[in-house]
Amino acid sequence: MKIKKIVNPSETLSNKLTLLFEVTSTSERTKLIQLLTKKTRHLVIEPTFVMTTLTINEINQVIKAWPTIFEANDGQHQLEQIIATAGIHFKGPGFDFDITTNPLIYSILNLTPDSFYDGGRNASIDGVLARIETEMAAGASIFEVGGKSSKPHFDDISAKEEWGRIKPFLDAIHQRFPNIILAIDSNTDEVVEEALKNGIQIINDIDGFKSKTKLDLIAKYKPAVVSMFNGRLFNEQPETLPETMANFFTHTISNLTASGLEKENIVLDPGVGFSNHSTLTLDVIKMQFTKFMAKYQVPIMIAISRKSFSKQLFDLDSADDRLIPTLLFESLMTVLGGRIIRVHDVKETEWLIKTFNLLKASLLA
């Protein structure tokens, strides 16, 4: 008998797994049905397979009862292996987050004067330190610093200026919070290198680690990474966008694992809001693509905080007015499989997660 896990990202949030049991004989199928019906009445029964959805606890009960029905223990071992690999972890230097059922809050600390939403709001070191303390208490697990805006038609700056904006804050953050998990949002080779030299554990590259220099740095320092699909680098068309994204993610995972990373070190971001064509259609396709990304078996980022899709959908010109659409779509993308929520609004996102957990069983039934 062969047992396979059917990938369904929403099921991990409810602690359930769909299993396909390939049977080789009628007697084997009969014994299997006898075993499984003790745990559930919801079975799909065909001549060559039996399929069902069970909680992790129910699977453990099946494992325990397996020897009472079957002489061979191969199926028992297969189920044990499935449970062992069912969880979703995000790992990097000094951290290991289990995000199987609970999304992770990843706070944005823009240190730029021209960010599309909070440019200039983090101007003082004392203010940033106070914000980190408050957001840690509110549930943030990772804090991302950034020294250059990546909004549409942003003004590029030198590596020296970008790092110069970050370094004073970074020194103060490390001194006040020595155990903090830090990311940097940068696509600049020199800045990425300085970040790694200065103890930043996560590199978020909007260009998807296309440069050899960055891949060499990844091989040397072995950080965790966020690799984003940047539609500005592609000829995006609605009809072919899913295929373009799939090819990109396959390629970036291959490059990053070849550089020495494990899949648990790699986060993928579908890149909502990054396009040469400001259309709602492309952003919706990217949000929907989240449900197909489970096949890559890596953590998925939700990075839509206060972005322009809300302007197109609800005519909200100001980013200050886009919190509610952000939270609604973040909830949807969590159901589709997103686990790392990159946000400007930590407290409100924590409320979203608590509410979602209360209603999770009903929402995913």
Greatest alpha-carbon span in the chain: 72
Range ranked top by mean pLDDT from 53-67, 93-107, 109-123, 177-191 = 177-191
Q: What is the pLDDT of residue 153?
A: 61
Q: What is the mean pLDDT of residues 247-269?
A: 98
- pLDDT for 68-110, tens place per residue? 999 888 999 999 999 887 788 999 999 999 998 789 999 999 8
Q: What is the mean pLDDT of residues 207-234?
A: 97
Kindly indicate the confidence band of residue 120, based on its pLDDT and cuts at 50, 70 and 90.
low
Exposed, middle or buried: residue 117 (CB in 10 Å: 0-12, 13-18, 19+)? middle
What the block records as the tokens of 77 is 């071992």
Q: What is the pLDDT of residue 117?
A: 45
DSSP 65-125: HHHHH-S--HHHHHHHHHHHTTS-EEEETTEEEE-SSS-EEEEEEE--SS-TTTTTTT-SH
Measure the CA–CA gap between 337 and 339, rounded to whole angstroms.
6
Residue 118 has pLDDT above 60, yes or no: no
Measure the CA–CA gap between 222 and 220, rounded to whole angstroms.
6
